[in-house]
Structure 1
Amino acid sequence: MVLPVVAGVDGSDASLRAVDWAADAAVRHEAPLRVLCATGPALGTPVPDLRENAERIRDLAVEHARKRVPSVEVTGEIVPEDAADALLSAGRNAFTLVVGSRGRGGVTGMLLGSVGLAVAGRADCPVVVVRGEPDSGTEPVVLGVQDEDAEEATGRAPGIEDTAEGRSAAEFAFREAQRRGCELIALHAWRTSGGGEPDSGGPEEGDAAEQGRARAEKVIDEAVGPARERYPDVVVRRRATAEPARQALLNAAREASLLVVGAHARHGHFGLQLGLVNHAVLHHSPCPVAVVPQA
């Protein structure tokens, strides 16, 4: 059974951009598209009015998707639940969840809406938050490679691991790059805090920089190795940098069609560990961001 790409809609322009992205992804991955609209709690609004509005939003989104990708099977659904809960439930049987960067009534600007953040932090499947302007699809996919020795306090989760389900960040990024026919940039920043330039000048600083770069390149090679073997036709560029991770990812995202990061489940807690860096890119990335659950 081919799992669907699920797009959450609420009538906002941002959610229609999510439908566009989801429709294109459905074509790339030969998957059906499911459009989901949640009515949420009534809060004093008559239920028939909520239903009628949801039907209008759903139907417009479905029609929009069918015009964009006539070859794709598109279905629409209304769920009488909170939007985040409805999407999380749908994500248990989805190829990926796709949401807009902000919903109706959200603060204008670059901030991520509460639904998108909740879904990205708790979903069982990859979540794509559609940010920025539409891309041609040929720009690189950027994979944020994380160090499994990094501490939680730095805002970075443990490293990328391959999973039996093939849903690791590396696997997701390589598959996207292959389907798009673009190259993949595997980026690792070995410095996670501070805002200055890398140290330079003295022999010790130079040696430390070389050691840091060598370790970063090793981290990249170990992270992408298994996926690289499965996708040998994907051109990979390693990018090791001493920039703070947040800034390195945001800089790389300026030339990307998609930024892919991983998130791990927190032991003893419900949901994923997004970390400070992932929060930053979700709020400020100039391109769509995929958050992929890790083992």
Structure 2
Amino acid sequence: MHPLPPPSVIGPMSADDFAVALGLKERSQKDYPMATPRHEAERRYIVISYLSHNLQVDQVQQDIVWARFCALYLPATVRLFLDPPVSEREDPIMAPDFHLNNAYLAVLNGLQMSPYLSKYLRSTKPVAADGKRLAQVVAERLVTYAPTWDHGALHPPPNWPDDYFKGLIEGAVQVLTTILASFSKEKDQTLIISSATRDGLSHWLLIWSKRYKNDSLGSMVTGIMVIISGMKHRNITSMRKHLKNWDSCALPGCKATEKLRACGDAKQYDIVARSTSVRTGALHMPHTSRCVFRQSIRMDGTCTSTSHLD
């Protein structure tokens, strides 16, 4: 597969581009002509390349892509993560890892700061029911793969990147941290992760918290330990507010963090239509002098009624 042209040539990868890569929609003429993945390892490679590509564009453009993706494809993405497809072409050595280390987890990592994710996880609507299983499944699979991944992190196989297995641990821990932060106010944490899974997970969290205490992984692990123990911590409360974007203004470029007011009307995001040759992602937003919660903006990227949770 050829590398992607830079964003200055093709713009950001769109929500639909990610959906095509995940197999959630058929490719149309306006979607990027990436080769159809033949197996899950290749699918993950494509998604990772899309994520890396979009990190090169400004945050506003990234927010638009994820807002639209979440509104249209988040429930389906979660379903695929919970029950990932495995083709007959999978590498028998790597295939088991793809129950956790897959394209769907990579996308969840990419969109984790979208306030729509927290809204989805906390929603009581039937379309969001799978979100209630997400923490348990991620934790179960992490406990299953932890012995292999931990050994690989300590003893990298020949010809493998030294940080490969540590990266696998980080990816799962990062998503789990985000999910658990959204449920941090739940009084009975066994409703989120069962006692048996929590006990198995705690064993590995303790090991990683000590080994990586001066690393970002150590900080995330400690955060999970605080949440599943039922302890209250100001950093977890702050994280929860940040995930919901309660601490920032929705107006692009506005740095206000105080006296924010929820807006009753969704502000208009208008994404310029792309041609088949040049794709743009220019953002237009009506002038407003009032700061509003980003959470109050309808999270579908186009301000239409396509949101699953509106």
**TM-score, with length taken from structure 2:** 0.30
Q: Which protein is richer in strand relative to its size?
A: 1
Q: Which protein is richer in helix relative to its size?
A: 2
